[in-house]
Amino acid sequence: MLYYLFNALFIFLILFFFDTTLTLFNKVAYAATLSFLASILFYFGINFWFIFLGLVVLLFLLIGIHKLVYIFRLYNFKKRYLQLHNYQSSFSQLQKESKGLCKDIKPFIKAMNYNDFLQTPYWKIIATKVKKNANYQCVYCKATTNLEVHHKTYKNHGCEHKFWKEDLISLCSACHTKEHEAQCEKSH
């Protein structure tokens, strides 16, 4: 009986402080029902709170592991793709390895010197993909030499691996210069 009351009170307190969607009546009802179930389990030698505690510990452990894996992946990604060295990788590999990391990659890239950024494996792989997708042609004049990759917008800078189709185009250096002059005039 004491066990039952203790459980009921405990469950009620949890509901009281952590759930704002239930009415008071429902909270009491849930607490009574759940503690009744807990009492039955206890009768058969299973301590409900022991299982509950075990699950909470397991949850924190999983969150901790998930966080560690994330940190490790981010560290690896920065080392491979955002440093000035030659790292050979395919575009699909880059996309796979960057999955879920955008939130932390973006501010990191934004803080980089732009000319350094252009030398990173990250940019080189994406720029190659953009040119390849345009059949190695300038999208304006169809020239096939001196191709460069132009940002139509910088709003997704640092997340080019996700927005390359919308934001990046392949231009020859002549058209690229003209494009920037046109943009310059527009903004003046």
Task: Pick the piece of the chain touching Zn ion (CB under 5 A) from 13-21, 70-78, 134-142, 157-165.
Answer: 134-142
Residue of 91, 143, 162, 178 that binds Zn ion (CB under 5 A): 143
Query: Is the Cβ of residue 31 or residue 130 nearer to Zn ion in the bound state?
Result: 130
Token pair belonging to 165: 């189709």
Is the CB of residue 171 less than 8 Å from the CB of residue 181?
no
CB of 175 to Zn ion, least distance (A): 3
Task: Pick the piece of the chain touching Zn ion (CB under 5 A) from 44-52, 114-122, 130-138, 161-169.
Answer: 130-138
Task: Pick the piece of the chain touching Zn ion (CB under 5 A) from 38-46, 64-72, 119-127, 139-147.
Answer: 139-147
Kind plus residue range of the DSSP H or E element containing 38: helix 24-43
CB of 145 to Zn ion, least distance (A): 10
Is the CB of residue 97 less than 8 Å from the CB of residue 73?
yes
Percentages (nearest 5) of helix, strand, coil residues in the chain: 70, 5, 25
DSSP, res 146: S
CB of 147 to Zn ion, least distance (A): 9
Number of CB atoms found within 10 A of residue 177's CB? 12
DSSP, res 147: E
Answer yes or no whether residue 137 interacts with Zn ion by CB under 5 A: no
CB of 90 to Zn ion, least distance (A): 25
CB of 112 to Zn ion, least distance (A): 17
Answer yes or no whether residue 140 interacts with Zn ion by CB under 5 A: yes
Residue of 11, 94, 101, 138 that binds Zn ion (CB under 5 A): 138
Answer yes or no whether residue 168 interacts with Zn ion by CB under 5 A: no
Cα separations in angstroms, 76 against 65, 83, 108, 139, 141: 16, 11, 14, 35, 40
Radius of gyration of the chain (CA): 28
Chain residues binding Zn ion by CB under 5 A are 138, 140-141, 143, 150, 172, 175
